[in-house]
Amino acid sequence: MKYHVVIEKKPLKFIMKQPRNQQERLLRAIYKLPDNGDIAAITDREGFFRLRVGDYRIIFTVDNGKYIVCVVDAGNRGQIYKKY
């Protein structure tokens, strides 16, 4: 089943500030969720996962009942985990 991807305003703003080639790379990886990529659960936050794309991290949740992937945050590797 194909999942519907929802990108919230904050991560979308971060992605759009990146160079064009990085934007494409991040968006391609996001639209392959929730099955493909270097995905791991965030240990301190139940229901949250991270996707590793080079030096960037994408934080997302998955609603398997409604087939929705919600991207809640995106950022550089060193800064993104301070929030979670």
> Nearest CA to 29 among 38, 42, 20?
38
Model confidence over 14-69: pLDDT tens digits?
Answer: 999 999 999 999 999 999 998 888 999 998 889 999 999 999 999 999 999 999 99
Q: Give ∠ CA 22-27-28 in degrees, rounded to 5.
A: 100
Report pLDDT for 78. 84
What are the structural domains, with CATH classification, of the chain? 4-78 (3.30.2310.20)
Enter the DSSP assignment of 2.
P
Predicted confidence band of residue 83 (pLDDT cuts 50, 70, 90):
low
Residue 84 pLDDT > 70:
no
pLDDT for the residue 10: 96
In 3D space, the residue among 76, 59, 69 whose CA is nearest the CA of residue 18 turns out to be 76
